[in-house]
Chain A
Amino acid sequence: MTDAPETFEFDAEGRKRAEAEIAKYPEGAQRSAVMPLLDIAQRQCGGWLPMPAIEYVSEYLEMPAIRVLEVASFYTMYNLKPIGKHFVQVCTNLPCWLNGSDNIMKACQDKLGVRSGETTEDGEFTLLEVECLGACVNAPMMQINDDYYEDLDSGGTAAILDELRAGKTPKTGSQLARFTCEPLGELTSLTHQEDLRAQKTAGKVNS
């Protein structure tokens, strides 16, 4: 966990990315870039937005701080409080819930010893119950930092958390023998495009 800094300023990389975002909008509409800039700031701050960062973004875009704070507080993907090194977000919306997201949530709670919205004492994990993350096809799922872990069960979830605590990199995506979001087992349709899988694996086509 990061303590609240006294001041905030984009680093060289952040500034470069911020300028690129602002350049997407016409002159005078630079405040349209507020959301990507907040994301850049959040990444630089270790996953959350301290007040100096919000004020910095407001000055950067020449807009009132309250307007930036409104955006930052409206969207759930901005964190206004510090989070752990691993930000575990478990989807509990309908498809995941039907597929047992309650078990996933329970596994996380048992493993980490915290409830939703809390951070472990060592600052390693923050657990949060979230709304749909758009991976219903492989429900249930959770997101940890920028990675999705899909087709989960209790044991697998605990194993992923263990690996993360041990500093290892668990397998992302589906935890079953499933290629991205294709059916388990043989393809039932679009079989003539079987070679797409090979191309994707080779990185020739965006997955």
Chain B
Amino acid sequence: MPKLTIDGNEVEVDAGLTVLQACEQIGIEIPRFCYHERLSIAGNCRMCLVALERAPKPVASCAMPVGEGMVIHTNTPEVHKMRKGVMEFLLINHPLDCPICDQGGECDLQDQAMGYGLDHSRYKENKRAVEDKEMGPLIETVMTRCIHCTRCVRFTTEIAGITDMGMLGRGEHAEITSYLEKAVDSELSGNVIDLCPVGALTSKPYAFVARPWELKKTETVDVMDAVGSNIRVDARGSEVMRVLPRLNEDVNEEWISDKTRFACDGLRRQRLDRPYIRENGKLVPASWDDAFALIESKVDGLDGSKIAAIAGDQADSEAMVSLKALMINLGSANIDCRQDGSQIDPSTRAAYIFNSEIAGIEQADALLIVGSNPRLEAAIINARIRKRFMAGKFPIGVIGEAADLRYDYEHLGTCPADLKAVLDAKSAFGKILKDATRPMIIIGQGALAREDGAAIQALTHQIAEAYGVVDTNKGWNGYNVLHTAASRVAGLDIGFVPGEGGLATHDIVAAAGNGDVEVVYLLGADEIDTQALGNAFVVYQGHHGDNGAHRADVILPGAAYTEKNATWVNTEGRVQLGRLAAFPPGDAREDWTIIRALSDVLGKSIPCNDLRGVRSMLVNANTNFMNIDIAVDAKWGSFGVAGDVTDAPFTSPIDNFYMTDPISRASETMAKCTETFLEAQEKATGTHG
């Protein structure tokens, strides 16, 4: 390990680090624009200059590897002067439009100009102006502000895996652009907005909306997919203005998907802000008392077997555990949190979580993806897979749709039969898995949410056993289920699944259709066939006027994920706390309190009076809820039901990444993305005539 002296401190750091990283390790901050720890080193902004003794000129610390005996100075008048010089050059063509720039107040260039900028300009020549580029509905560009750090180019190329962006021209005429000014087609494109150290790339939906200092920042988690990305919600008053990523190395690193970032404008539209009752076929506003009274009149005296509840993909744990308690009190076993009809085995925890954890992908050395398109189902996890792929020696096999996943893979087939073939001793990919030290399987909902899901699960269990996907000696469990619903793992942990003799989602819908079930309680469940519920009395509790609300006989307005203190469990089984960033609109309430109040009206009170009470119900249901922010290893066991499989090919449950839930369906930005990225493609392939 090389020893070097930085500002008089002798330090020993790992070989291969750069001088900038060594400085950071001892707490010396080096100003920088182009350097980013997750991107390749470009060394083109020159802001990170330091003085290296015996070197003929200042060195760019981001690109200089540490060497034995180096003597570095970062805080001398000379270094300060060098940086001032660099800053003066950077500002030559940078417009002085901070007052009308969205980056103002959170701009690296602005901040560092405070430290290294001159108080006047010596530049008398013409400033250059650059035409703005069109980059789609998410990214606003003001290219005159660009300082050519190329972070956006490196991010899209290296992490997002698209080759749309580049820098054309040279010197004075260099310009960042997307190829032929196409919209940047990536599920992760919004991250370039965070990466841009100046105001060249900013958020289009957030343009001229707010200033950072007037926003209330709340650290919470995302529910647009089952990744549980850590986010910061910025709200002004009761309005969520934007969503930004929060650093969590174990989950989302520092990226979030475009849906996570941009769907928040859906929180303002189509909201259910007061209870509604259906009268003569029309939904009319009502009071909470009237709504509860109507439910009571329908439920009163009804046999438990004629009542059913389905929890949707964004239901929080507190609401689910409350609703389960209420249903038990009502004598009903007809509850299900798997509205896609997934056949997943809830009895063994290892059977339904992402056992290796997301960070574990980086340790894997072979991967089989079954029935999943991780790019659409969990863009952040897909970025991790790509990160591992880029590190090299990572064979990937896919059984399912042959979609563009942004990395190379071997397409092994589309049907369950191809999955069986991997088990065959002669299978080439089977051998790859067998030879790997840490093989991994990712099973998507496309493989489990089908009639033969249990048999397919049994098959994947067999593969896991046969190829050492689970090795307790090594502490490795590469059996990973990739969920698409933020509520799913919590629902399974709580046991929000049919009790003894209870009906599962499809059976509930069918029974409601033929009259066997008379009352259906939908907890934010919008992705079922609500028109098939027949004459059943439908209670919809949720936050958006979506499919469920359209069919409902009573609507109980709940809170969206930014409007409640709630617990979420991501696909890894990691329990994370969401926090209230803005209050729910109008009469809407936090979801568990609605169920708690309703249980009193029905005379079936559930035992909790405050958030602490409902959380202790969660812990009673499953001790995992005690482990906040930690993904606890699950014990491996046997699961799945061996049986016949069909020939039907695996399909991903998501065809439109931008619209998967009531919030994103209400979002104008997501609608624009759908139009730009999906409908344009359809037109190009000629399906629109």
Contact = CB atoms under 8 A, between A and B. Distances in A.
Nearest to B175: A73
Interface string A25-65: 00000000000000000000000000100000000000011
A79 to B, nearest CB: 13
Given A65-B179, A66-B179, A73 B163 contact: no
Contacts of B207: none
Contact of B166 (A51, A66, A75): A66
A146 interface: no
A66 B165 contact: yes
Nearest to A76: B170
Nearest to B157: A64
Nearest to B168: A73
Interface in B564-594: none
Contacts of A75: 170
B164 interface: yes
B168 A69 contact: yes
A69 B170 contact: no
A67 interface: yes
Contacts of B178: 66
A122 interface: no
Chain A interface residue number, banded: 10 to 19
B163 A70 contact: no
Contacts of A74: 168-170
B170 A67 contact: no
A64 B153 CA distance: 13
B167 interface: yes
Contacts of B163: 64-67
A69 B166 contact: yes
A75 B174 CA distance: 12
B38 to A, nearest CB: 21
A65 B165 CA distance: 10
A73 B180 CA distance: 13
A127 to B, nearest CB: 19
A69 B179 contact: yes
Contacts of A73: 168-170
Nearest to A65: B179
B131 to A, nearest CB: 14
A113 B447 CA distance: 72
A66 B164 contact: yes
Contacts of B167: 70
B166 A67 contact: yes
B146 to A, nearest CB: 15
Nearest to A72: B168
A31 to B, nearest CB: 12
Say whether chain B's binding surface is mostly helix, strand, loop, or mixed: mixed
A65 B169 CA distance: 15
Nearest to B169: A73
Interface string B159-188: 000011111111000000011100000000
A65 B162 CA distance: 12
A10 B169 CA distance: 25
Most chain B beta-carbon contacts within 10 A, residue among A51, A69, A73, A75:
A73
Contacts of A66: 163-166, 178-179
Interface in A58-98: 64-67, 69-70, 73-75
Contacts of B166: 66-67, 69-70
A205 B127 CA distance: 51
B156 to A, nearest CB: 10
A77 B460 CA distance: 58
Contacts of B168: 69-70, 73-74
Nearest to A75: B170
A59 to B, nearest CB: 13
Interface in A158-191: none
Nearest to B174: A74
Contacts of A64: 163, 179
A197 B167 CA distance: 48
A51 B164 CA distance: 15
A80 B165 CA distance: 19
B206 to A, nearest CB: 27
A39 B630 CA distance: 58
A45 B197 CA distance: 41
Contacts of A67: 163, 166
Nearest to B170: A74
Contacts of B179: 64-66, 69
A58 to B, nearest CB: 10
A73 B174 CA distance: 9
A75 B178 CA distance: 19
Nearest to A69: B168
A166 to B, nearest CB: 36
A74 B179 CA distance: 15
Most chain A beta-carbon contacts within 10 A, residue among B166, B169, B178, B180:
B166
A64 B163 CA distance: 6
A69 B164 CA distance: 11
Interface in A102-139: none
Contacts of B180: 51
Contacts of B170: 73-75
Contacts of A65: 163, 179
B185 to A, nearest CB: 13
Nearest to A51: B180
Contacts of B164: 66
Nearest to B178: A66
Most chain A beta-carbon contacts within 10 A, residue among B164, B167, B178, B179:
B179
A88 to B, nearest CB: 22
A118 B168 CA distance: 22
Contacts of B165: 66
Interface string B491-516: 00000000000000000000000000
Nearest to B166: A66
A84 to B, nearest CB: 22
A27 B166 CA distance: 25
A69 B174 CA distance: 12
A197 to B, nearest CB: 40
Nearest to A70: B166
A51 B179 CA distance: 11
A72 B395 CA distance: 35
A69 B163 CA distance: 12
A63 B167 CA distance: 16
A40 to B, nearest CB: 21
Most chain A beta-carbon contacts within 10 A, residue among B164, B165, B168:
B168
A74 B165 CA distance: 15
Nearest to B177: A66
A140 B100 CA distance: 49
A1 B170 CA distance: 26
A191 B169 CA distance: 47
Contacts of A70: 166-168
B288 to A, nearest CB: 57
Nearest to A63: B163
A66 B166 CA distance: 6
Nearest to B162: A64
A189 B586 CA distance: 97
A53 to B, nearest CB: 15
B357 to A, nearest CB: 33
A74 B171 CA distance: 9
A69 B180 CA distance: 10
Contacts of A51: 180
Contacts of A69: 166, 168, 179
A75 B168 CA distance: 10
A51 B167 CA distance: 16
A74 B169 CA distance: 5
A51 B166 CA distance: 16
10 contacts: A64-B163, A65-B163, A65-B179, A66-B164, A66-B179, A67-B166, A70-B166, A73-B170, A74-B170, A75-B170
Given A65-B163, A69-B166, A74-B168, 7 more contacts: A64-B179, A66-B164, A66-B165, A66-B178, A66-B179, A69-B179, A73-B170
Q: Which 3 A-B pairs have the closest CB atoms?
A: A64-B163, A66-B166, A73-B168
